[in-house]
Amino acid sequence: MKKPAGFMVSAFTAVTMAVGLLVGTATSTAQARPASACAPRVDAAVMAEIADISAAENNRTLQDARDNVTEIAELWGDAGDPRGGFAVVYKEILDTTVPSIERGDYDDSQWAEDLAVDFVQRYLAGVHAHATGAPVPAPWELYYRTATDCEHSGGRVATSGMSAHLLLDLPAALAAVDTPAERWDDFNRYGEVLGTATPNIIREIEADYGTDLSELFSVSIVGDVIGSERAAGIFFQTVRAVAWASSRALMSPATEGAGEAAMWAEWHASEVVLDTAEAIGIF
């Protein structure tokens, strides 16, 4: 697979433009979201349970991790605790991607499973650190700080998790499992698979946290033209293309430093865009 020079920059520009279009379209009608009362928090006993099921030794297989993410989503989500916003998103993603691996939808099923395990373990490591009071990786520290700030919506919390996981954790996972360039087609299939999870993500986030993410995933007028599920597929494909380019940089000693710096710049930029989207009432 050969990509043109500047692919990383152009791919991320596409993400920013897509969300920017969404923000610009909504500006004329959306109102700034008023400050809300603090959401409920689960008690210490529930946090101890979350700490246990998020521990590395309890998540060595993809099915164990899927089961535990589901339980974490329910423990936080049933209480309306915003810290579960991304767990709800991830539950729906795993409920879609795990069966696709089991069906053999990928040319290299072992690679697909190895990637999925490494990827989910990075999220669970952050959950475990937060639940036990250990140092939390910077993007996930921001996620939990956002989740416990009464000024933020459940949608903003969930999208903070998506930003951290797709722009930072995913490239690292791709590099960690030594993904060869030949796996591009398999990786590309993930984007289409993720698009099919979108209706459930939107429904569950609204049910647990009262936030409608449909406008974000439909990419405004694009979704009206080509259909919301297909637009969501493009949304995920574009972000994941950035992750793929970042992973290629991480896997080469000559570009590793620059690639890591670009990843962090992409993540910071996405957080600025998401803050703007929340400020004008998109979620």
pLDDT digits (tens, 9 = 90+) for 2-54: 343 333 343 444 444 444 544 444 443 444 444 455 767 899 999 999 999 99
Q: Does 28 map to a domain?
A: no
Q: What's the domain count of the chain?
A: 1
User: Binning pLDDT at 50, 70 and 90, where does residue 282 land?
Assistant: confident
Q: Does 88 map to a domain?
A: yes
Q: Does 214 map to a domain?
A: yes
Q: What pLDDT sits at residue 37?
A: 55
Q: Does 183 map to a domain?
A: yes
- CA nearest to 65, candidates 90, 100, 46: 90
Distance CA 60, CA 174 (A): 17
**Taking 80 as the threshold, does the pLDDT of residue 231 lie above it?**
no
Please indicate whether residue 26 or residue 258 has the higher confidence score (pLDDT). Answer: 258
User: Binning pLDDT at 50, 70 and 90, where does residue 244 land?
Assistant: very high
pLDDT digits (tens, 9 = 90+) for 60-102: 999 999 999 999 999 999 898 999 999 999 999 999 999 999 9
Mean predicted confidence (pLDDT) in 240-265: 94
Q: Does 65 map to a domain?
A: yes
Question: Around Cβ 3, how many Cβ atoms within 10 Å?
Answer: 15
Q: Which residue type sits at 12? A: F
Q: Does 22 map to a domain?
A: no
Burial class of residue 29, CB neighbours in 10 A (0-12, 13-18, 19+):
exposed
Q: Does 251 map to a domain?
A: yes
* Helix axis angle, 7-27 to 256-279, nearest 10°: 0
Q: Does 49 map to a domain?
A: yes
| Domain assignment of residue 134, given as a range | 39-279
